[in-house]
Structure 1
Amino acid sequence: MALNTDRRTMTRSQAEAAQIDTGLRSYMLRVYNLMASGLVLSGIVAMTITYVPAVRSLFYVQTPEGLAPNLLGMIGMFAPLIVLFAAMFMIRSASAAMVQGMYWLFVALQGIGLSMLLQVYTDESVVRVFFITAAAFASLSLFGYTTKRDLSGMGSFLIMGVFGMLIAMVVNIFLASSMMQFIICAVGVLVFSGLTAYDTQRIKEEYNVNMDSETLSKGATMGALSLYINFINLLQFLLYFLGNRE
């Protein structure tokens, strides 16, 4: 009798573990699909602005030094930050549909800023560095998903690194130091590489099989947003080192 009870307990535990594994894989696939779709949308917006003259003229003006963003272009470049802060502020009270809508708005607006990269770097080098970034991102995310090491201790340190970089960037606007820019980009590669692994593990551990569909949808969208931001920043910093300028 005791043996049969043990067997039933083991079978139940195995079934629950299998349910969690299946649900987690489906959840993470949803996160990655949202992130990849966001990258595609940003790329479409960036290429439309870059290669369609009528659209490009809405965001850029021709100067003796080359194309420069006009007022609408500058607003478009800073608009994603406003959307991001709004999403973080409203996440608890907003519906899943609203959170996802803000995600699509964010990645579409991000395409305006990314169009600047296509003005600065050659198309060939952007494509090459994109695939390098994708390979690095996939490896780092896989590490974060599979490692048994607790990466939670990295979180606060990495966020402090992000704020430190932002301060350094503002300072370097006035100093225009190429050495400081080199250091900022080097630190940026390290910080967002670490955040990719950390955020992947965090998203994985936040999953709960008992979550309702609304919570799961919001969690997947915010997880995709975190990974999207890491990918875009990693791409921009790697372009500094590996990209060929126009």
Structure 2
Amino acid sequence: MADWNDTSRNAQRMGSVPRAGGDVAGRASYDEGLRKHMLSIYNYMTSGILLTGIVALLAFTSGVAETIFTGGILRWIVALSPMAVVFAMSFGANRFSTATLQLMFWGFATLMGLSLSSIFLVYTGGSIATTFFATSAAFAGLSLYGYTTKRSLSGMGSFLIMGVIGLIVAMVINLFLQSPAFHYAISFIGVLIFAGLTAYDTQRLKTEYEYLRGTEFAGKAVVLGALSLYLDFINMFQFLLSFLGNRE
């Protein structure tokens, strides 16, 4: 999911970052704008994860999760609908308004809550909580690294996307094999891939601000950036839970 919003690269460039020895006031203004931009992304992402968690917990405690995931086509609708929203947001970003993308993001977070409510039927509450906090700590560290490192992570993008595709293929294959060893290998590799994507996407979003600031796409980029980091976090959490979680 790392390059789902590449359309933003076509946004009009509004000027380059002030260089060392250049306009100090301009540099300060740029840095302040960048901080606000990234903070907005993190605020949306965190709010989305919080909404997902609340919906998942309510769905479980009310018995809705058990109703959904005990069979029938409804479980597949709930499981696949978040993916449909992601594709709609990614490929329709230029057509939708910022307000529409915001509503779609909240709808996506709600649908993800319904989808993730199934984990309460499989894993113990303690292991879910432990994995969530472990994922939060790892995500914070990796995102901080992506934001502060001077090393370019752009070369990781294509490699990580290929890794995601390979991961999906392996998961489909294991639906037929039902191999526990293969399952744990997929989970371990999944954690590594989305850990890498967390750092890569953070740096990408920081870099793209130079081209987006002052454009009409800037507001949309905040929502799409939050979606990107949300997906990194949730996927890392799910693979880590699958690898370490204690089953009921």
Give the TM-score normalised by the residue count of structure 2.
0.88
Question: Which position in structure 2 is the counterpart of 1:235?
Answer: 237
SS at match of 2:106: helix
Question: Which position in structure 2 is the counterpart of 1:59?
Answer: 68
Question: What is the letter of the counterpart of residue 165 of structure 2?
Answer: F
Pair 117,10 (structure 1): closer, same or farther in 2 beyond 3 Å: closer
Question: Which of the residues 46, 58, 63 maps onto 1:48?
Answer: 58
Cα distance, 1:119 vs structure 2: 1.0
Cα distance, 1:214 vs structure 2: 3.7
Question: Which of the residues 44, 48, 59 maps onto 1:38?
Answer: 48
Give the Cα separation in 2 of the matches to 1:141 and 1:69: 38
Aligned residues: 230
Cα distance, 1:186 vs structure 2: 1.0
Structure with higher helix content? 1
Question: Which of the residues 97, 100, 105 maps onto 1:98?
Answer: 100
Per-residue CA deviation, residues 129-169 of structure 1 (Å, 9 max, x unaligned), is: 10000000000000000000000000000000000000111
Pair 191,209 (structure 1): closer, same or farther in 2 beyond 3 Å: closer
Structure 1 segments unaligned to the other structure (5+ residues)? 1-8, 61-67
Question: Which position in structure 2 is the counterpart of 1:27?
Answer: 37
Give the Cα separation in 1 of the matches to 2:114 and 2:128: 16
Cα distance, 1:241 vs structure 2: 2.5
Instruction: Kindly indicate whether structure 1 or structure 2 has the higher relative contact order, using CA contacts under 8 Å at least 6 residues apart.
Output: 2
Question: Which position in structure 2 is the counterpart of 1:133?
Answer: 135
Q: Tell me if the contact between 2:65 and 2:117 (Cα under 8 Å) persists in the aligned partners.
A: no
Aligned-residue identity in percent:
50
Per-residue CA deviation, residues 40-75 of structure 1 (Å, 9 max, x unaligned), is: 11011101110013x346524xxxxxxx24422320
Q: Tell me if the contact between 1:80 and 1:110 (Cα under 8 Å) persists in the aligned partners.
A: yes
Give the Cα separation in 1 of the matches to 2:172 and 2:112: 20
Q: Which has the larger radius of gyration?
A: 1
Give the TM-score normalised by the residue count of structure 1.
0.89
Cα distance, 1:209 vs structure 2: 7.7
Per-residue CA deviation, residues 204-240 of structure 1 (Å, 9 max, x unaligned), is: 0010387336422100111100100000011011112
Question: Which position in structure 1 is the counterpart of 2:125?
Answer: 123
Q: Tell me if the contact between 1:133 and 1:231 (Cα under 8 Å) persists in the aligned partners.
A: yes
Give the Cα separation in 1 of the matches to 2:21 and 2:173: 61
Question: Which position in structure 1 is the counterpart of 2:11?
Answer: none
Pair 210,108 (structure 1): closer, same or farther in 2 beyond 3 Å: closer
Tell me the C-alpha RMSD between the 2 structures.
1.8
Q: Tell me if the contact between 2:212 and 2:218 (Cα under 8 Å) persists in the aligned partners.
A: no
